[in-house]
Structure 1
Amino acid sequence: MIAQVIVDIAAKQTDRIFEYHIPSELPDVKVGSRVVVPFGPRKLQGFVVGISESSNFSGKLRDLLLVVDEMPPLTPELVELSAELAREVFSYRITILKAMLPRVMRANYRKILSPISEKAKKMPYFQGNPIDLNRINDIKEISFVHKLLKSQDAKIEYIVENKAKTKTENQYILTKSKEEYLTIYNSLRHNATNQKRLLMDIIQNYTSYPKMQNILENDAQINAATLANAVNKNWLQKKKIEVYRNPLAGFKDNKNISKNIKLNDEQKIALKQINSSIKNKESKTYLLEGITGSGKTEVYLHAISQALENRRNALMLVPEISLTPQMVSQVKERFGQEVAVLHSGLSEGELYDEWRRIRRGETRVVVGARSAVFAPLKNIGLIVIDEEHESSYKQDSDPRYHARDVALWRSKYNNCPLVLGSATPSLGSRARAQKGVYTLLKLTKRANQKKLPQVKLIDLKHVEFAGGQFDISTDLFNAIKKRLAKNEQTILMLNRRGFANFMLCRECGFVLKCPNCDLSLTMHKDTNQMQCHYCGYSEKIPQLCPNCQSNKIRFLGTGTQKVQEELEELLPEAKILRMDVDTTRRKGSYKKILDKFGNHEADILLGTQMIAKGLDFPNVTLVGVINADTGLWLPDYNASEKTFELLTQVAGRAGRADKTGEVLIQTYNPEHYAIQLAQSQNYEQFYNYEMHVRHEGDYPPYFYTVLISIASKNEQNAARQAFKIKRKLQNNLHANAIILGPTPSAISRLKNQYYYQILVKYKKEENLNNLLHQIQDSAQEIKKYGLNVYIDNEPERIM
């Protein structure tokens, strides 16, 4: 038998299938298996993407060396999907196959120096641990290694390591009858307290064994030394048992909860259509458009129940880790141990264990962020994408896939419905629903029959401010005080983290910039650092101007840290929680902050856009937006859409239970249509207006787009290559295709690379896909000159 293998080298020359003979000693090779193969002088990891009985290769095929896993990590569905994605997202197939696995399962390669001659084998140099060439940096040692290789006293061996480790715990098994243990107990001396405690536990709980060590230590108070002694005396036998790390340990199960929830008429109509597609195994796409608080989540959960009743599985995506705790809590309450969760907030071990539970078929419902769309779940009966408009569903690095496109493919493959849910659907999705490509389902009322909160705009050009920072108007300040007096809670959003946006010298006008990027450094007061939010560079906050040594420096702009400091001065009695990238770096921090706020251990939750969506706190009656303009003037065609979505979503966090909600939006642009329509939460009017703007500008969804970015440390080289690519496009595309650029990116330098961009807008170009693949392949040739070319199909951001 012949294995068709994609090897672990992301390059044009290796982006094809290599054939290997399957030796009789390796009978478990299947499609989706990870294998180790010889490749030139090296050993590489690869993925089996096909198996055949014969080969067209005239020479002798080399043998597969090793099968890495007992069960193939990738299902045949995912292997097929990788081929489709490689054609559409302009990534090499191996990059996509690796993206489908948890980080810990990606291969780790080591170059080991091994002795060949008898003389070398006796050298003290080779008597210790294996010599890892990747770790040698001493010049003398490097020279010595070269001599050994030249004289053929040593050779280089390539080792493929699997970093994925299973967790094991000790289990203790009984070796004797109950009567024998009773005899031993009676023969022990009086002061053998620990041994007697163990034997008494065995006698009283004989049928409960085998027992895990942690249970014996915690429940029976038996220490490890006593257990080791019992094993030595053959009272017990110790066995290592594989156990799963459990990221859902803090979540409750309550499977009866669904019986207490009654759906309203609109929810029932939507659910009926989705359930029909589940029962009929129909790959239909539904756009569930429901105002904030309309009970979209309840429709999802009832539909998941229907899929499970039909003996099929369900996959549910949420856009951010911050949303995962609340969504996981609801799904876990409903479906208990059948739920697995996948997102980057888990430890590598937890992610590996959850992924294996899914692959082994031990779980039926998967909840996760973007990469969970690749979950190795079989027999999918329903796919849900919550907050489908979110840009975080698009991967902004290689491979640049959109989770919605992958979900559409898996929906067709599994003959199951896909539900896209949002209060503010993306214009592309809504346009498809208008054309009948998707089926539109609407929820126009809040599930609890309450009205949407009243939204008031505060024009920052004509207000008084509380405090001296010009961040919080007196109107917003008084509204917060009113909630504190009533023991109600407030959510405040500012979509900018840090303390100040930049440092300015009033003497010479110097602005402190990142040495690697064309950006000013942001002040972070809590860590005493100036930070770049793009490359991670940081330095201490200066006391004097680095340019002229003047002490007349000021830190201008605002961020969540500064607002928190101002609130603490203005409202010393208020308990404030801040939720942004800086406060949520540690594992479990999202859940901890949200649990605290949910338990009313804080009065105010202040955060960036991560608090705008999906959160449901019944005691929140006020939502305040510190500055609605932060994303309004970005050089992106969809800046107005993103602003409208964000404001509408955050406004929906207020008044979700019995208490009436109020929303105050502070802005310098109250006349802008995105802000005006967010005030009335009028999605229909916004959709019609924005579609007109897009039509006039020839932008999506009226045109398809491809963004080609060229990066180099030398700006002239980047520009020269960009113009070469433009000429190639002009010579091969139709006249009605629009080619914009090349032009420097909005942020022209990032991580010491200058970026130039070309944007292609088109309606129908049959030759474009092949042309872009040619550009991708050519990029491999020019990489050695320090030039990088990135192709992004349907980019979320053009900056």
Structure 2
Amino acid sequence: MIARVIVDVPSRQTDRPFDYRVPGEISGWIGVGSRVGVPFGGRTLQGFVVELTEDAEVSGNRLKDIAELLDPIPPLSPDLIELARWISIKYCCTWTVALQAMIPSALKGKAERYVRLGEQRNMSEGLWSAELPEELLETVRKQGNIKLTALQQRFPAHSHEIRMALQSGALIEDVKVKDRLSVRTVLTVFPPADREAAEQALAELPARAAKQRELLQRIMEQTGPMPMQALLAGAGGSASSVKALADKGLIELREVEQQRDPYAGRDFVRSQPLPLTEGQQGVLAPIAAAVSERASRVFLLQGVTGSGKTEVYMQAIAGCIAGGRQAIVLVPEISLTPQMVERFKGRFGDEVAVLHSRLSQGERYDEWRKIRHRQVKVAIGARSAIFAPFESIGLIIIDEEHESSYKQEESPKYHARDVAVRRARQHGAAVVLGSATPSLESYMAARRSQEGAADSAVQSAAHLPLPERVGGRPLPPVEVVDMREELQEGNRSMFSRRLHAALAERLERGEQSVLLLNRRGYSTFVMCRSCGYTAGCPHCDISLTYHQKTRMLRCHYCGHAEPSPTACPSCESEHIRFFGTGTQRVEEELAKLFPGIRVIRMDVDTTTEKGSHEKWLKLFGDRQADVLLGTQMVAKGLDFPFVTLVGVIAADSSLHLPDFRAAEKTFQLLTQVAGRAGRHHLPGEVVVQSYTPDHYSVRMAQQHDYDSFAVEELRHRRFMGYPPFCRLILVTLSHEQLPLLAATGEQLAEALRAQAEQAGVLASLDSSKEQAVEILGPVASPIPRLKDRYRFQCMIKYRGGVDAAALLQAALAPFQEGTKDKVLFSIDVDPQVIM
């Protein structure tokens, strides 16, 4: 049997399967998706079996054996292997990079070198065996196999002798692929199987074995097995006493797997399905029918905030499970996870596995293993949960589908929505895209617009509207405050008079408020008022942000930090001031204006610790705070009954970015955060502060009018030739030397144009061609330098059935793969951020 293996080398030159012979002893265990260790280029590396065949493309000495099988059960199924290949083609990455994205980091094995004694003949005849100290030989003899690094550290003066002994065969080197993490096991004591025999043995134990007698008595009182450590902690004694009982056959000692459960000890209140409104029943019916018929269909569930989308999700999942299939639920970011986990665990109990980046490696690995071992039926998590190793998926739900966090920003730069649609086709599953403010690509697909559907990532989707809140509760009124007028009338505070009064009213009534400022830190930049100097990052073309708690200036791109200056480094003036407003400064101002106010701040700086999101949200839910202040992580998915006020400090913070999606993101953020108010029995209101209150994204968010916003924004997109009326590929080039970078950018653009012209598709997008490609650039990126590397970018705009990825790959072929002294290329298909 021949295995075709993708070896874990992220290089274009090696991005193909290599043939290896399958040794007979593992032939019954190996399958497509198996993880193996294989000899490659003088090393032993991890690889994945992507095909089994009887015909090898190489022969003789070139055909080598698989060195080891790393898992008795393949960690990847054949459908995931095929999906990884599709990702590598669509998103212009290597196959191995796509495969690595699908497994937990615990399984991203690395080769480790071990040393053992050679054969006796080599030991006696080896030239360097006599040079090795007896203590070293005894160490290797005693351990059998010892890590080479450990041996070198223990005998640092004998590195040369060890190397020569390896060459002569006096020492033999073995290379094994080891996982970064293993299954956790606990030495466990099992009570006697024959109680009568144990009682007789207890009576016959000699007096000098008092501790054994006491331990056996304690073990017999237990109704089941218990960890040996817990036994000794409660009864005293030593491990040798327990082992003596095991040696006599009175008890059994065995290593038992212990799962690292992130929710161990948590009691989730079980919930029952709620009665559905007529609108909810109307949208659930076609989803349930698709799941029942095993039909691969895509649905856009467009429901206003508070319309009960989550209940529809859960009842659809219940039907999926009842049919013997599994479901995946994606949420956009970790801030949504605590409340979502509580709801799903409360409804489905232990049938739910949770996968997200805030779990430890061990917890994430064990949750992944629950899925692979068929112990759960539902996986909930961020974008990578789309790769959950289920075998029969019936339903995939993407909540808040418009969120840009579903797009991976590191290779492979996949979009979870598109991967979900592809995976649903493999399984005959339904996909539900849920949002109050859908992405314009999904919206156009759902409206079955011929232009939008032809070139959008989602080709077609059935539109399921939920236009009303559950219980007929009204959407909160939104008041937009023109901050220019506030300034003209003498109010220089970050809070308008209207927002200040609204906060005071909530404090007086004992109600809660949510404040959004999508900018962390204390001040956005530091500037000298005498000479105009601005504190910038020495490694990036970006200003530094001041953080008051540490009194440091930090770069939010590369992590550079430096103390805040007390005088201008340029002119030595003392008139250096902090400009702009961050969440830290808002927190400080609230304390000044409202003495005794209780504020919880949630941003990247306060949520780095494990469990911090859940801790802050629980405190707020228990009414231990008056105000929840934060960045966009507080804008969506949260449901608190006593929140009656939402305030947006600066609605324009994302509106003027150099990104064609800026208006869409602003509208979505304002609409989502407005939906946090008045979700239960208390009415809510929203106050939005803006310096551009007449912008259509702000005006239509005020009216909760998505359809009007979509019409206006699509008019702009059509005129400018941007998605969903075309598709994009962004190619970013970077290098330390600007002249070399600029020259390479020009060469790449010319190569792209040549490829498009040869294919007969080179044209501007306003031409009449059904298939057209337009090449823009190279130009400097909006942030021209990051981490001491200059950055240029080229944009490929295309429509119709053009295979733009293939054109790009052909254009890139003459360029050598990026290394330290070469230009690096980053390819982003369907980019969400053009920065």
Shorter-normalised TM-score: what interval? over 0.9
Counterpart of 2:11 in structure 1 is 11
Amino acid at match of 2:41: G
Counterpart of 1:386 in structure 2 is 399
Amino acid at match of 1:314: A
Matched, 1:211 2:226: yes
TM-score, with length taken from structure 2: 0.89
Asked whether the 8 Å contact 2:775–2:797 carries over to 1, the reply is: yes
How far does residue 237 in structure 1 lie from its aligned partner after superposition?
2.9
Q: Partners in 2 of 1:85 and 1:121 — Cα distance? A: 56
Q: Deviations over 1:598-630 (max 9, x none)?
A: 111111100000110111111100000111111
Q: Partners in 2 of 1:283 and 1:238 — Cα distance? A: 50
The more displaced of 700-709 and 471-480 is: 471-480
How far does residue 169 in structure 1 lie from its aligned partner after superposition?
1.8
CA separation of 1:542/1:126 partners in 2, compared to 1, >3 Å: closer, same or farther?
farther
Taking the TM superposition and a 5 Å limit, the aligned residue runs for 1:123-142 are: 123=132, 130-132=147-149
The more displaced of 117-126 and 399-408 is: 117-126
Counterpart of 2:20 in structure 1 is 20
Taking the TM superposition and a 5 Å limit, the aligned residue runs for 1:435-474 are: 435=448, 437-463=460-486, 470-474=493-497
Asked whether the 8 Å contact 1:111–1:134 carries over to 2, the reply is: no
Q: Deviations over 1:707-758 (max 9, x none)?
A: 1111111111111111111111222222233222111000000111111011
State the SS of the aligned residue for 1:723: helix
Counterpart of 1:395 in structure 2 is 408
The more displaced of 186-195 and 88-97 is: 186-195
Asked whether the 8 Å contact 1:252–1:332 carries over to 2, the reply is: no
Q: Partners in 2 of 1:554 and 1:162 — Cα distance? A: 51
CA separation of 1:232/1:659 partners in 2, compared to 1, >3 Å: closer, same or farther?
same
Pick from 797, 805, 809: which aligns with 1:769?
Answer: 805
Taking the TM superposition and a 5 Å limit, the aligned residue runs for 1:515-594 are: 515-594=538-617
CA separation of 1:149/1:185 partners in 2, compared to 1, >3 Å: closer, same or farther?
closer
How far does residue 132 in structure 1 lie from its aligned partner after superposition?
3.6
Pick from 288, 293, 297: which aligns with 1:284?
Answer: 297
Counterpart of 1:748 in structure 2 is 784
Q: Partners in 1 of 2:596 and 2:645 — Cα distance? A: 18
Counterpart of 1:368 in structure 2 is 381
How far does residue 39 in structure 1 lie from its aligned partner after superposition?
1.0
CA separation of 1:197/1:452 partners in 2, compared to 1, >3 Å: closer, same or farther?
farther
The more displaced of 169-178 and 608-617 is: 169-178
Q: Partners in 2 of 1:746 and 1:135 — Cα distance? A: 49
Amino acid at match of 1:463: E
Pick from 664, 675, 679: which aligns with 1:641?
Answer: 664
Q: Partners in 1 of 2:550 and 2:4 — Cα distance? A: 52
Asked whether the 8 Å contact 1:779–1:788 carries over to 2, the reply is: no
Q: Deviations over 1:2-39 (max 9, x none)?
A: 00000011112100110000011222111101101111
CA separation of 1:465/1:262 partners in 2, compared to 1, >3 Å: closer, same or farther?
farther
Amino acid at match of 2:664: E
How far does residue 702 in structure 1 lie from its aligned partner after superposition?
0.4
How far does residue 537 in structure 1 lie from its aligned partner after superposition?
1.1
Q: Partners in 2 of 1:553 and 1:729 — Cα distance? A: 48
State the SS of the aligned residue for 1:463: helix
How far does residue 243 in structure 1 lie from its aligned partner after superposition?
1.4
Q: Partners in 2 of 1:40 and 1:448 — Cα distance? A: 66
Q: CA RMSD in A?
A: 3.1
Counterpart of 1:168 in structure 2 is 185
Asked whether the 8 Å contact 1:194–1:222 carries over to 2, the reply is: no
Deviating above 4 A after TM superposition, structure 1's stretches of 4 or more consecutive aligned residues are: 110-118, 124-131, 133-136, 139-159, 179-205, 213-217, 464-469
Q: Partners in 2 of 1:133 and 1:97 — Cα distance? A: 32
Counterpart of 1:298 in structure 2 is 311
CA separation of 1:405/1:489 partners in 2, compared to 1, >3 Å: closer, same or farther?
same
Pick from 220, 225, 238: which aligns with 2:237?
Answer: 225
Q: Partners in 2 of 1:514 and 1:508 — Cα distance? A: 18
CA separation of 1:779/1:21 partners in 2, compared to 1, >3 Å: closer, same or farther?
same
Matched, 1:119 2:125: no
How far does residue 590 in structure 1 lie from its aligned partner after superposition?
0.8
Taking the TM superposition and a 5 Å limit, the aligned residue runs for 1:602-681 are: 602-681=625-704
TM-score, with length taken from structure 1: 0.93
How far does residue 113 in structure 1 lie from its aligned partner after superposition?
8.9
Counterpart of 1:735 in structure 2 is 763
Pick from 260, 263, 272: which aligns with 1:258?
Answer: 272
Q: Deviations over 1:467-496 (max 9, x none)?
A: 997322222121111111111111001000
State the SS of the aligned residue for 2:628: strand
How far does residue 147 in structure 1 lie from its aligned partner after superposition?
9.4
Q: Partners in 2 of 1:548 and 1:151 — Cα distance? A: 68
Asked whether the 8 Å contact 1:113–1:132 carries over to 2, the reply is: no
Q: Partners in 2 of 1:326 and 1:102 — Cα distance? A: 24
Asked whether the 8 Å contact 1:465–1:472 carries over to 2, the reply is: no
Amino acid at match of 2:349: G
Q: Deviations over 1:762-795 (max 9, x none)?
A: 1136353322122444444454642011111111
Matched, 1:349 2:366: no
Q: Partners in 2 of 1:84 and 1:697 — Cα distance? A: 31
Asked whether the 8 Å contact 1:317–1:369 carries over to 2, the reply is: yes
Q: Partners in 1 of 2:494 and 2:209 — Cα distance? A: 70
Q: Partners in 2 of 1:750 and 1:685 — Cα distance? A: 38
Amino acid at match of 1:320: E
Amino acid at match of 1:461: R
Q: Partners in 1 of 2:173 and 2:807 — Cα distance? A: 41
How far does residue 258 in structure 1 lie from its aligned partner after superposition?
2.3
Q: Partners in 1 of 2:397 and 2:187 — Cα distance? A: 39
State the SS of the aligned residue for 2:782: strand
Q: Partners in 2 of 1:104 and 1:70 — Cα distance? A: 16
The more displaced of 234-243 and 464-473 is: 464-473
Amino acid at match of 2:128: K
Equivalences, count: 791
Amino acid at match of 2:413: R
How far does residue 107 in structure 1 lie from its aligned partner after superposition?
2.1
Counterpart of 2:42 in structure 1 is 41
Amino acid at match of 1:729: L
State the identity %. Answer: 42
Asked whether the 8 Å contact 1:517–1:752 carries over to 2, the reply is: yes
CA separation of 1:191/1:210 partners in 2, compared to 1, >3 Å: closer, same or farther?
same
How far does residue 144 in structure 1 lie from its aligned partner after superposition?
9.8
How far does residue 54 in structure 1 lie from its aligned partner after superposition?
1.9
Counterpart of 1:487 in structure 2 is 510
Q: Partners in 2 of 1:468 and 1:147 — Cα distance? A: 80
Counterpart of 1:79 in structure 2 is 81
Counterpart of 2:720 in structure 1 is 697
Pick from 307, 315, 318: which aligns with 2:328?
Answer: 315
Q: Partners in 1 of 2:152 and 2:288 — Cα distance? A: 58
